[in-house]
Structure 1
Amino acid sequence: MLKNSYKMLFMTMLFLGTLISICSSSWFSVWMGLEINLLSFIPLMMKMNNLYSSESSLKYFLTQALASSVLLFFIIMFSMLTLKYMYKFNSIMNIIFSSCFMMKVGMAPFHFWFPIVMEGLNWINNLLLMTWQKIAPIIMLSYCMNFYFFIFSILLSIIIGSINGLNQTSLRKLMAYSSISHLSWMLMGILNNQNIWMIYFIFYCFLSLSIVLIFNNFKFFNLNQIFSFLNFKNLIKTIIFIPFLSLGGLPPFLGFFPKWIIIEYMVSMNYMFLLILLLYFTLITLYFYLRISYSSFLLNYNEMNWNFNYYYNNNFFLFSFLLFLNIFGLIFINLFFFIL
């Protein structure tokens, strides 16, 4: 029998719950898929010898259960209304459903649980929380759009994600606030074109995967670990921090491409003031990425030669490939569209 067979079972149910939600034709089926997804993720979060993971799993469960109970209550309530009254309360229903899905995904103003939960989990669970767990709620958000409520949430998310990330020393909280900031761009993509947010989300998943694999390999959880541990060659520093800059959307790295698409659509839709605000606070997010990278590259450290060969393990070539895609991916994409 496999050692971690229970993980395979819960991972299968995790993916199945998301697929049930996004393929459903009724709100009750959506709720059922979200609950299957939630109850499958809780055992994956919990570690027997780690009290922080148990605390995070409890907070995650309480928050998700609150959002699910409110969602189920209003699904039942609105199902009892006739078509005449349902049309009258359509905007209220969209706001309530959007609030439930925003709480599930960790978007402002319902972001209070997201950094706390991420702080107590390991990097692999954080990767699932930042990527796969967002798919079903974001797709459901695209079905219950309310323009002014979405604009309010977009502005609040980009402000909170950028400002709160400035004074963080925990890498997990830094990634959490970065995720909140990226959610505002995804929601903006939903307002412009529902296919754009999928492109943005795919690129975000790839960049998050690049960073999480590196942090998980080197066991980095705080900034002081990076600065005290970076006594190795510049190539390793480049492998670690280029994905950081790409996630911040610095040209000419790959992470700039999805932002570029949304910027073009916002210009075509004449959302100039909103675009200026998004770009301004995204520059703040990019600032704390640049601050970390600048310090690591330019400050001098004592270098121990016997520590250098340790980092050339089996994952080194994978990290090099991810670095290559982050640097030259935007060039390849531009050539592809130029040829088309």
Structure 2
Amino acid sequence: MVIISTIFSLSSGHILGVWLGLELNMLSFISFSIQSKNFNEVEAGLKYFLIQALGSGFWLLGSFLFYLSMGSWFLFETIVDFNNLIGLENIFCMAKVIMMWGLFMKLGAFPIYFWVPSVMNEMSWFSCIILATWQKFIPLILLSYLIGPETFFLGIIVSVMSSLVGGVGGLNQTRLRVLMAYSSIGHLGWMIGLMYMSWIGVMVYYGVYFVVSLSVFLFLWLFEFSSFMQVTGWRMWGKSMLILFSLNFFSLAGLPPFLGFMSKWVALQAMVNSGSYFLGCGLLVGALMNLYYYTIVVMNVSVWGGVWVINNSTSMKFKFEYLIVFMFSMISITGLMFMNSIIGSSI
């Protein structure tokens, strides 16, 4: 249902049709995330509903102003001609800002970011995977149709501050769901900033983030980790799993030669070519703080002693789930080297 509502949102060029698709996507995700009827998950679903409903309200308000200025309900097919907007420029700009504000709320970008750690901390790992990856797809597509010179300053501020918040918020965190939530906010800042430079770069960044974060989330979900106290127990599982888990986090941090480095490389190259040095520096500061707490996780795994006792239900016997985790981990770790070999052979 989540996938169907996503397709419906993007296939409809009508602004109200997009709004309906966003609502269907929200309701389907909430019904999916609270199937276990756990109190914490129900509370998280209610928080998610309230913030998403508020974002939808902003989108709906902006859509009416958009129609007032443009005389059209079709966002994707409307060609903006400022010669025909004499006297309506302020309404048009206000409509775009309000619609972007609603999308920023739905994405969990600065300054309405506080709901993301709170919601993810109370959800299951599988719901966290969907929220951190797939649920970003529709708002990012819609943002690409709203960006422009009149919203450049707003987008840059939201981008840089989201990256910094994602870095600062993850410091001194012991709960892995909260840490991954702030990591998601930090990467979202990169995608928003890159959107003003290269749309293809945004798709590359999103695709790489999707694969790399999925490999990390699958590790945490499969072994039901929730805090550093449990992660240190990985020392009891041998060096091979320890190394695989650590390399996935380094890939998420964007270190070479892992696949996660490709997204940072594409983004920085686009920013340098466009002369956006302030944006690049701000995003790099946030990324360095992300790298710090990723390294703390790896230190917990590699150096400090573990006190967690492994349950029988999560024994290291061969399962199909372990094969999926291993496959995504290999893509995350060796993807960049594989792509370089393809590009090098084609030149």
> d(CA) in 1 for partners of 2:152 and 2:138?
20
Is this contact kept in 2: 1:17–1:34, CA < 8 A?
A: yes
Q: For residue 78 of structure 2, what is the aligned residue in structure 1?
A: none
227-236 vs 54-63, greater mean Cα deviation: 227-236
The answer as to 2:312 corresponding to 1:323 is: no
Assess, with a 3 A threshold, how the Cα gap between structure 1 residues 302 and 58 changes in structure 2: closer, same or farther.
closer
235-244 vs 198-207, greater mean Cα deviation: 235-244
Cα drift, residue 302 of structure 1:
8.2
Is this contact kept in 1: 2:5–2:24, CA < 8 A?
A: yes
Matched residue SS, 2:226: coil
Aligned amino acid, residue 89 of structure 2: Y
Aligned residues: 327
Of 232, 238, 243 in structure 2, the residue corresponding to residue 238 of structure 1 is 243
Assess, with a 3 A threshold, how the Cα gap between structure 1 residues 91 and 335 changes in structure 2: closer, same or farther.
same
Q: For residue 340 of structure 2, what is the aligned residue in structure 1?
A: 334
1:114-160: CA deviations, max 9, x gaps? 11111111011111111111111111111111110000101110110
> d(CA) in 2 for partners of 1:120 and 1:138?
25
Q: For residue 152 of structure 1, what is the aligned residue in structure 2?
A: 157
Q: For residue 221 of structure 1, what is the aligned residue in structure 2?
A: 226
Of 110, 113, 116 in structure 1, the residue corresponding to residue 112 of structure 2 is 110
Q: For residue 71 of structure 1, what is the aligned residue in structure 2?
A: 59
Assess, with a 3 A threshold, how the Cα gap between structure 1 residues 275 and 78 changes in structure 2: closer, same or farther.
closer
Assess, with a 3 A threshold, how the Cα gap between structure 1 residues 306 and 108 changes in structure 2: closer, same or farther.
closer
The answer as to 2:28 corresponding to 1:40 is: yes
> d(CA) in 2 for partners of 1:221 and 1:280?
27
The answer as to 2:36 corresponding to 1:15 is: no
Cα drift, residue 320 of structure 1:
3.1
Cα drift, residue 326 of structure 1:
2.5
Is this contact kept in 2: 1:231–1:302, CA < 8 A?
A: no
Q: For residue 130 of structure 1, what is the aligned residue in structure 2?
A: 132
Aligned amino acid, residue 117 of structure 1: V
Is this contact kept in 1: 2:167–2:287, CA < 8 A?
A: yes
Q: For residue 6 of structure 1, what is the aligned residue in structure 2?
A: none
Q: For residue 3 of structure 1, what is the aligned residue in structure 2?
A: none
> d(CA) in 1 for partners of 2:2 and 2:325?
27
> d(CA) in 2 for partners of 1:151 and 1:302?
44
Assess, with a 3 A threshold, how the Cα gap between structure 1 residues 287 and 21 changes in structure 2: closer, same or farther.
same
Of 38, 45, 48 in structure 2, the residue corresponding to residue 60 of structure 1 is 48
Cα drift, residue 240 of structure 1:
1.9
1:222-275: CA deviations, max 9, x gaps? 111111453221111112221111101111111001111111111111112321
318-327 vs 29-38, greater mean Cα deviation: 318-327
Of 119, 122, 132 in structure 1, the residue corresponding to residue 121 of structure 2 is 119
Cα drift, residue 221 of structure 1:
1.1
1:24-55: CA deviations, max 9, x gaps? 22211110110111111111111454100000
The answer as to 2:201 corresponding to 1:196 is: yes
1:92-118: CA deviations, max 9, x gaps? 222111100010111111112111111
Q: For residue 290 of structure 2, what is the aligned residue in structure 1?
A: 285
Of 92, 95, 98 in structure 1, the residue corresponding to residue 97 of structure 2 is 95
Assess, with a 3 A threshold, how the Cα gap between structure 1 residues 304 and 121 changes in structure 2: closer, same or farther.
closer
> d(CA) in 2 for partners of 1:231 and 1:216?
18
Cα drift, residue 90 of structure 1:
2.1
Normalized against structure 1, the TM-score is what?
0.90
1:153-206: CA deviations, max 9, x gaps? 011101100001012111111111000000011112211111111111111111
Matched residue SS, 1:311: coil
Normalized against structure 2, the TM-score is what?
0.88
Cα drift, residue 317 of structure 1:
3.6
> d(CA) in 2 for partners of 1:28 and 1:228?
50
Aligned amino acid, residue 168 of structure 1: Q
Aligned amino acid, residue 124 of structure 2: N
Matched residue SS, 1:111: coil
1:270-300: CA deviations, max 9, x gaps? 1123212211220110111112112321335
Identity of aligned residues (%): 34
The answer as to 2:278 corresponding to 1:273 is: yes
The answer as to 2:257 corresponding to 1:252 is: yes
Aligned amino acid, residue 41 of structure 1: F
> d(CA) in 2 for partners of 1:51 and 1:304?
26
229-238 vs 258-267, greater mean Cα deviation: 229-238
Of 290, 299, 304 in structure 2, the residue corresponding to residue 299 of structure 1 is 304
Matched residue SS, 1:231: helix
